[in-house]
Every structure is written in C-alpha cells, then in structure tokens.
Amino acid sequence: MRLSRAFQPTLKETPAEAQIASHRLMLRAGLVRQTSAGIYAWLPMGLRVLRNIGQIVREEQDKIGAQEVLMPTIQSADLWRRSGRYDAYGPEMLRIRDRHDRDMLYGPTNEEMITDLFGSAVKSYKELPQSLYHIQWKFRDEVRPRFGVMRGREFLMKDAYSFDSSYEAAVASYQRMMLGYLRTFQRLGVRAVPMVADTGPIGGDLSHEFLVLAPTGESGVFFDAALEEQDWLGETVDLDSHESLARFFGRVTESYAATDEKHDADAWAGVPDARKREGRGIEVGHIFYFGTKYTESMGIAVSGADGTQFHPHMGSYGIGVSRLAGAIIEASHDEAGIIWPDSVAPYRAAILNLKPGDEATDALCERLYASEPENLLYDDRAERAGVKFNDADLMGHPWQLIVGPRGAKVGLVELKRRATGERFELSVDEALARIRSA
Amino acid sequence: MRLSRAFQPTLKETPAEAQIASHRLMLRAGLVRQTSAGIYAWLPMGLRVLRNIGQIVREEQDKIGAQEVLMPTIQSADLWRRSGRYDAYGPEMLRIRDRHDRDMLYGPTNEEMITDLFGSAVKSYKELPQSLYHIQWKFRDEVRPRFGVMRGREFLMKDAYSFDSSYEAAVASYQRMMLGYLRTFQRLGVRAVPMVADTGPIGGDLSHEFLVLAPTGESGVFFDAALEEQDWLGETVDLDSHESLARFFGRVTESYAATDEKHDADAWAGVPDARKREGRGIEVGHIFYFGTKYTESMGIAVSGADGTQFHPHMGSYGIGVSRLAGAIIEASHDEAGIIWPDSVAPYRAAILNLKPGDEATDALCERLYASEPENLLYDDRAERAGVKFNDADLMGHPWQLIVGPRGAKVGLVELKRRATGERFELSVDEALARIRSA
C-alpha cells in the first residue's frame, strides 16, 4: 500500500480520553476510531492486525482438532430461558425486542446456542468428542467502557466449546485446548502465562486464565520463569493419547503461577529466587470445564454404548481477539510508538522514501515496493524525513527500509529493526532477504 | 477433514419450511442451521463457502483500489438523526436501547457511519478519491424472513463507499466498481448481468443491479447474450484513466439488459433474435451514485484546490455475500444436490472410500488425503457406498475421488466430475494433477 493513497489518519495530539498506552497508540497510529462509547471501527491497518491475530488463533484451533462454525450475533431469549440464564444475566446483556415483540439479545457468549446446535446434530457417543469454535463479534454493555479495544462493548472473541462422553475425556479436551492456547500466544509474539482461576460452584482445578505480561496489566502476577521460557511450539504431544496430554499438562501446572488474588506465599517461597518472576498481567484467554451444566439444564443427551442416554460433559474456551490487539501493544511499545511482533504486524516492513522526486531514490523505492506490494507499506508522501521516521516508529512496522539519495545512487538501503533500533546498510536483495527471513 | 469426525449433520428428509432449492439443499447438506426466524448458524462446510465468497469479493475490491475497514454492527441513533434517516427508516431497522437509555441500532447499512468516519479523517481534495469497504453482518428485521440465507434477517454484506471531488470523478469510481463487480461474479462461477435500476430522487442512469441467472429468480430479465459471453477478467482497463473507464463502461451498457419492471419492448425488438436471452434473476449486487446527499445532510466537507470547502460526491456499492451462497446454489444444482463452482467449493474434492477396512483401499485413500488434507474431504465413514455417493452428490464437491478394492489393488482411482457426471479411471498422481488444474 502506498501511504499517499492509504486511508490512514494518524493523529499528532494524544487524545484526551485515552488513559493507557495501547488506546493512545491505536488512535494516534490510525488503527481504530471510536464510533460510540466502547464501540470502534477498525481502519485498514488495524484490521490487518485484527485479521492476523484471528488467523493465528484459527490455525491453532484447527491443529488441535476444533472445527470452525459461525454463529449469529443475535440470539433468541428463549434459548437463554432454557438454561435459566436469561433472568440471571445482568445489565451487561444487550436486550432487544424485534418487530414481532419477541425478546432477542446480542450474544455476550454462546454456551446456550452451541449446546442447542450440538444437540440437534449429534445423537450418539460415537460422534464424540466434538470441539466447535467460532470467531464472532460479541456485545457486553459495560457500564463504563474504557481503555479502547481492551474493554469495549462490541468485541471480537474466539469461543470454543467441547463435548465429551466422560469427565476423563473432557479433561483431555481441556488439556488439548491448553496446548493450543500456549502455542497461539507464543506465535502472537507475547508470553501469556496460564494461572489457576476460580471455577465457581463446580470446583476442581479445571479453570485457567491466560495473562499477557504488561506493566499496565489489571492483575499482579507471580510465576516461575519456566513458564515463559518453554517452547510450546516445539512440544511434542500426541493429541489422541490421554497419557501424553496428561504429561504435558503436568509439566505446565507443576510450575508456580498465580494472580495476586490467588497468591500463596508459602508455595511461592518454594520457588528458587532466580526463577521468581513478578509483574502485572492482562487477561487475554480463559479456559473452563463446567461438566454437564448446560446439557442437563437444556435437556441435551446422546445415546451411550449401552444404549442409555447421557448428558455430554462440556468446557468453554475463550480468547479475546480484539482485546489482544491492545494487549500486544501494552506488552510491546516504547516512547516512540508500537513495536509489532512480526507475526501480527500489519505490514512486514515500511519503505521510507526520504526524497520523493529524486529519480534514483524513487526508482529504488519502487523496486523494493514491487517485490511484495501487498505486504509492504510505501511511505511515498511529500513529507519531511522526520515526519516519516516518526510515523514509521509510531505505527510500529517491524522493519524500516530507509532510502535516501546518497544510498540510492549506489544501490544501498538502510534497514532498521524497530524493536532493537539496529541499523544495517544493505543491497536491495540483501535487505529483502533479511526481512523475509524474520 | 475426515467426515467421520466432521461436524457435518446431513438431513435425509427435506425440511418442510424450505420452499426453494438452495434453502432445502443448504439444510440437507448441513451447511447452515436456523437458530431463530431468519437467523442462521453457519456449520463448518457452509462457513468455508461463505469465506471463499468473501475472499473473492475482497480481492476484487482491493484490485480496484478500495480499502478494507471494519465498522461495528451496533450504531448510534444520533448518527442517523444527523442524516434524517432515523425516523424515516421503517420497522426493518432493529432499534435497541442500551443500559444508559441511549438509542442504538443494528446497522442495516453504513452510509452515515462511513461518511462520519471519512469526515473525521479526510480534510483536503488532495486525499481524494477514496473508496472504503467492509464485509460485515447487517440486520434487517424482515416481516416474513424466508428462503433461508437468501432473505434472512442477519446477513453478511460487502458494502463499499466512494468519495470524490466532482461528478466526473465519481462516475469514474462508479465505473471502476462496475468492473470489479463483473470480475467478482465471474470468478464466483456465476454470471451476473448488470441492469439499469431506479435511482430515486437523484435521477440519471448511475444505478445498476446485478442479477444472477437462476430459474427461481424474483425478477424476469431480458438481456443481450453479449453480456454473459464477455470475459471481464481478460478486459484490460486503465483504472487511472477516465477515458479507459468510460470506454469499458460504454461496452457494458451498449448491450440491452433490463428487468421486467424496466423492460422496453421497442429497444428489445432491436436486439437480434439469436442474441436475445430471457429468464429470471436473483439480485446479488447493487451499485449506486447518490452525489452529495449524505455529505451535505451530515455537514461533511473538505477543502478544494482554491481553498473553499466542498461536499464530496459519494456512491455506495453492495454485494450480498451470504445471499450469494444461496444464489450460487439456485444457479447451480440438480436433482441430486449442489454443484459448486471450483472457486467457492468448500473442498476441492471428496475422497469416497467404498470399503473401509480393506487394507489396499484404506492405504490408497490415506495417500490421496495426505496430499492436501486441508482441501479434501475424506469420507471414511463406515457407511454403504450408496450413502457416500448420495452425500457427495448432495454436498456438491466439484470432484469425487472414488476408491474401491478392485481399483486400489492396482493403484487406480475413479475420478468423477460432479457438474458433468464424467468419470475417468486414473492413477493417484494423474487424479491429483487433474483436480489441481481445475
């Protein structure tokens, strides 16, 4: 994309309403614009980030055998009356009456709908396990929406639901999802540490939240460094073996990790000092086993091996996709702007033409741009070099390909790595090879 | 995907509520399930089709220089009060009150929001033209939703909006979009003929609807065969040249095409009989120039070359993405089921294992499947051959790779082309090469 033609409105001033870095930077870099309280439009560069995040989430869900569906945003209140949650849900639920005076709602989550969908399609234990997910907009009518996309009212979420024939099989589904989540966050370029969370009335320890480490996080976190050093992508786990899954799960949960709410000073004392990590975290995912709560209340059963009907065991698993755009920035920015991890960056690199109109400079920039126009942002604007440096740092492209008349004359490009500030003087081919190998 | 593990509930009976072929086939093949009146969940195979359609629409919008954004589903009523449409819009608008008693609505279209977004970002004629689009769920509270996804209440639409500094520039934007639409529909494997449509109070001839030819279409259509024979993908048009665009547009509009509402018997008489085509059509797209209607009513202006402020000229351009899934089936099916065009098919081919448990048959099927598991559906179920044949025809995979014990023993596969019924006996490599080249 040529920046001169892009719909990419950057702001020079910091918007007054933005209290945290990600909100400020997303507005200033032109990633999103607020359209109503807690509701945002995603501008081209923001949408590219949102889609990159969604695609990584999707690929890792597919790899653990979850199947993607797409449920609608508008649900019938009757569905929620069957589970008993319609009256129990607070004012965060956006309640709607349609033209025929039927009670509807904008889905804040989809346990009821997926359970009903599952029940209408699956009749036998032979068809289990099933894991279904979708990536869809949700609405929660927060009383005070703030922090930009981190706590918006309309937000994009991946929610998955598993159906199993027994508690043991449900545990395996839960462990598969744990692996998928750890891999997802690692690929997104952030470290998200799983912490035991409250399970509510069901009890047990099958609930974890995933927190991205960032100084502005809402919770204090204490954890063993082992959890951020592990390479989950290199972890070999047999997804069909309960033993293999249990071994993996044991390795995850044997290391100490807790939010301040659940912090246990005695257990913490047992962690060697060199491996103690303290900080703050932003919740970006939550996995949860809840047994037969919905299949029972909604009367959904399948036939077992002996012919009798039983209620499948369920779990639900959420990742805040739009929230992650903000959380990644909270975890990865500096004074000058955003520092995108390569995997989610809107563009692989920006080309900075320091002297538009200079023949050699223009020619070299065009040559770079032509190599991969869909993945490069070409700053061809008639602006001063300083403006271009600032905007590129603000937008956070992982690499900058800086082209001035002196270098252009001899075919050289200055390549800057945004994260480290390192600079390299390279030929066109060397520079392109370098950014492609990242 | 292995069908034995897929969430792919086919129905043996034809659902009573389904009056048209696409609705019936989408339910029977397990592409969608209704969750409320006129609201559907997309099951895995349906979602793959929906995404394929969306991706082709996206690529062709990008090629004509439109930029993708994503606006939210929930809008503020105040935005619509600024244009004067809030009170004018009928009961099809889903009106919502949030917890702070603010009037909100589920967007049925986005002229107001995009005009506001544009106005907040673009200040000078130098930044024009701009074309912005998004692919987002809309809601229209139809009094009698029917025909499945063809006339649902929650539906996926691509809507684009152009902003130009003059009428002439707006005409060029309109013509660019016409080209993009013709290419889009051609790639989708359907022929959609552009027909002059009503422009309402603005007048002129800058409104066209695109109708897919299908016997169950809602409108009668009369058109010159030239319009369905033209290869729009091969058409060379300079998108930056008003002359080149006007020549292309002239070639499109010189051929007769009209719905029954606008049919002109005298003009029709001038079309040579051999080129007369009559039939029925389903509206799948609409492009529309409406001048300064919204920029004026909403007070959006930019500065011109002479420093004075002016209201940009706008057009809007819609494609019914979810509707197209149904329209394509209406245009392409037979007694046995769907016939997907290769470009939108959920899977490139289905592998039919006629004797699961037979060693040679299983081995050959696994070999086929391993070549491209993400693009093949492997029917590995313990079902009779007849069930597999029927389901594959119903689901409409463009190719069927049929593997039985006799052929497997000598390494041969029967390849069936769904559209023509042709069958070929081929080696594994030949069969895979054949389906890849389609």
Pick from A32, A98, A111, A173 the residue to mutate for testing the B interface (most B CBs within 10 Å).
A98
**A277: phi then psi, degrees, rounded to nearest 5:** -125, 130
Q: Is residue A227 part of a domain?
A: yes
Q: What's A36's domain CATH number?
A: 3.30.930.10
Name the domain count of chain A. 2
Inter-chain touch B104–A36, beta carbons under 8 Å: yes
Q: Position A236: which residue type?
A: T
Chain A contact set for B74 (CB, 8 A) = 36, 39, 94, 106, 139, 153-154
Contacts of residue A118, Cβ cutoff 8 Å, sequence gap at least 6: A130, A132, A161, A163, A300, A312
Residue-level pLDDT at A13: 84
How close is the nearest chain B Cα to the Cα of A374, in Å?
Answer: 10
Picking from A1, A35, A52 by the largest number of B CB atoms within 10 A of its own CB, the best residue to mutate is A35
Pair B266, B332 in one domain? yes
For residue B201, pLDDT over 90 is answered with no
Contact between A67 and B73 using a beta-carbon 8 Å cutoff = no
DSSP 3-state assignment of A426?
strand
Q: Do B35 and A98 touch (CB under 8 A)?
A: no
| Nearest CA-CA distance, residue A91 and chain B, Å | 6
Residue A202: per-residue pLDDT: 58
Distance CA A327, CA A306 (A): 49
Chain A residue whose CA is closest to B116: A35
Instruction: Establish if B13 belongs to a structural domain.
Output: no
Domain that holds residue B328: 21-338
Domain boundary among B307, B338, B369: B338
Which member of B7, B35, B92 has the closest CB to residue A72? B35
B223 and B267 fall within a common domain: yes
Question: What is the helix (H) or strand (E) element at residue A173, kind and residue range?
Answer: helix A167-187
- What percentage of chain B exceeds 90 in pLDDT? 92
B368 and B301 belong to one structural domain: no
Test A65 with B5 for CB contact under 8 angstroms. yes
B117–A72: do the CB atoms touch at under 8 Å? no
* Residue type (1 letter), B420: T
pLDDT attached to residue A14: 82
Nearest CB to B47; choose among A70, A79, A94: A70
Q: Classify residue B343: in a domain, yes or no.
A: no
Count interface pairs A-B at CB distance under 8 A. 138
Chain B residues within an 8 Å CB radius of A3? none
Predicted local confidence at residue B202, as pLDDT: 59
Helix (H, G, I), strand (E, B) or coil at A317: strand
What's the N-to-C CA distance of chain A in angstroms?
A: 20
Q: Which residue in chain B has the smallest CA separation from A121? A: B9
3-state secondary structure of A177: helix
CB A221, CB A193: distance < 8 Å? yes
Clarify whether residues A164 and A304 are in a common domain. Answer: yes
| Residue A208 falls inside a structural domain | yes
Which chain A positions have a beta carbon within 8 Å of B381's beta carbon?
none
SS (H, E, C) chain B: CECCCCCCCCCCCCCCCCCCHHHHHHHHCCCEEEEECCEEEECHHHHHHHHHHHHHHHHHHHHCCCEECECCCEEEHHHHHHHCHHHHCCCCCEEEECCCCCEEEECCCCHHHHHHHHHHHCCEHHHCCEEEEEEEEEECCCCCCECHHHECCEEEEEEEEEEECCHHHHHHHHHHHHHHHHHHHHHCCCCEEEEECCCHHHCCCCEEEEEEECCCCCEEEEEECHHHHCCCCCCCCCCCCHHHHHHHHHHHHCCCEEEHHHCCHHHHHCCCHHHEEEEEEEEEEEEEEEECHHHHHCCCCEECCCCCEECCEEEEEEEEHHHHHHHHHHHCEECCEECCCCCCCCCCEEEEECCCCCHHHHHHHHHHHHCCHHHEEEECCCCCHHHHHHHHHHHCCCEEEEECHHHHHCCEEEEEECCCCCEEEEEHHHHHHHHHHC
Contact B95, B68 (CB under 8 A): no
> Does residue A344 belong to any structural domain of this protein?
no
Q: How far is Cα B6 from Cα B373, in angstroms, rounded to an integer?
A: 13
Q: How confident is the model at residue B198 (pLDDT cuts 50, 70, 90)?
A: confident
- Chain A residues touching residue B113 (CB < 8 angstroms): 35, 41
Interhelix angle for B44-63 vs B167-187, to 10°? 140
B139 and A74 within 8 Å at the Cβ level: the answer is yes
B205 shares its domain with B353: no
Residues A179 and A306 in one domain: yes
Does A236 share its domain with A360? Answer: no
Three-state secondary-structure class, residue A236? coil
Q: What angle do CA B400, B405, B411 make, to 5 degrees?
A: 75
Q: Is residue A8 part of a domain?
A: no
CATH number for position B406: 3.40.50.800
In 3D space, the residue among A302, A323, A332 whose CA is nearest the CA of residue A314 turns out to be: A302
In chain B, what percentage of residues exceed pLDDT 70?
99
| Helix (H/G/I), strand (E/B), else coil: A437 | coil
Neighbours of A391 (CB within 10 A): 23
Nearest CA distance, A239 vs chain B (angstrom): 14
- Tens-digit pLDDT profile for residues B309-325: 999 999 999 999 999 99
**pLDDT value for A203:** 59
Query: Of the residues A295, A310, A338, which one is the last residue of a structural domain?
Result: A338
Q: Smallest Cβ distance to B47: which of A1, A69, A76?
A: A69
Contact B9 A120 (CB under 8 A): yes
Whether B423 and B321 share a structural domain: no
Q: Cβ contact (<8 Å) for B43 and A69?
A: yes
Instruction: Determine whether the interchain pair A41/B143 forms a contact, defined as Cβ–Cβ distance below 8 Å.
Output: no
pLDDT of residue B13 exceeding 90 = no
- What one-character-per-residue DSSP string does A69-120 give? -B--SEEEHHHHHHHTHHHHS-TTSEEEE-TT--EEEE-S--HHHHHHHHHH
Q: What is the phi/psi pair of residue A152, to 5°? A: -85, 175
- Give Cα A120 to chain centroid, integer Å: 31
- Quote the CA–CA distance of B50 and A304 in Å, as a whole number: 35
Same domain for A125 and A96, yes or no, is: yes
Query: Which pTM does this prediction carry?
Result: 0.97
The per-residue pLDDT for range B134-175, each reduced to its tens digit, is 999 999 999 999 899 999 999 999 999 999 999 999 999 999
CB contact under 8 A, B120 and A69: no
What average pLDDT does chain B have?
A: 95
Q: Are residues A124 and A237 in the same domain?
A: yes
pLDDT tens-place string over residues B50-76: 999 999 999 999 999 999 999 999 999
- For residue B191, the model assigns a pLDDT of 87
What pLDDT does A272 receive? 95
pLDDT at residue B35 in the model: 97
Does some domain include residue B54?
yes
**CA gap B96, B381 in Å, rounded:** 47
**Residue where a domain terminates, one of B338, B357, B391:** B338
Please judge whether B68 and A137 are an interchain contact, meaning their C-beta atoms are less than 8 angstroms apart: no
Q: For residue B128, what is the nearest residue in chain A, using CA coordinates?
A: A5
pLDDT at B203: 59
**A194 has which bridge partners?**
A210
Same domain membership, residue A230 and residue A359: no
Nearest to A40 among B33, B72, B96 (CB): B72
Higher pLDDT residue, B196 or B138? B138
The DSSP letter of residue A64 is T
Please report whether residue A11 resides in a domain: no
* Residues A391, A293 share a domain: no
pLDDT means per 10 residues, chain A with 438 residues, are 94 86 96 97 98 98 98 98 94 97 97 97 96 98 93 97 97 98 97 86 78 91 92 94 97 93 93 95 96 96 97 97 98 97 98 98 98 96 97 98 97 98 97 92
**Side chain identity at residue B136, one-letter code:** Q
Contact B73 A73 (CB under 8 A): yes
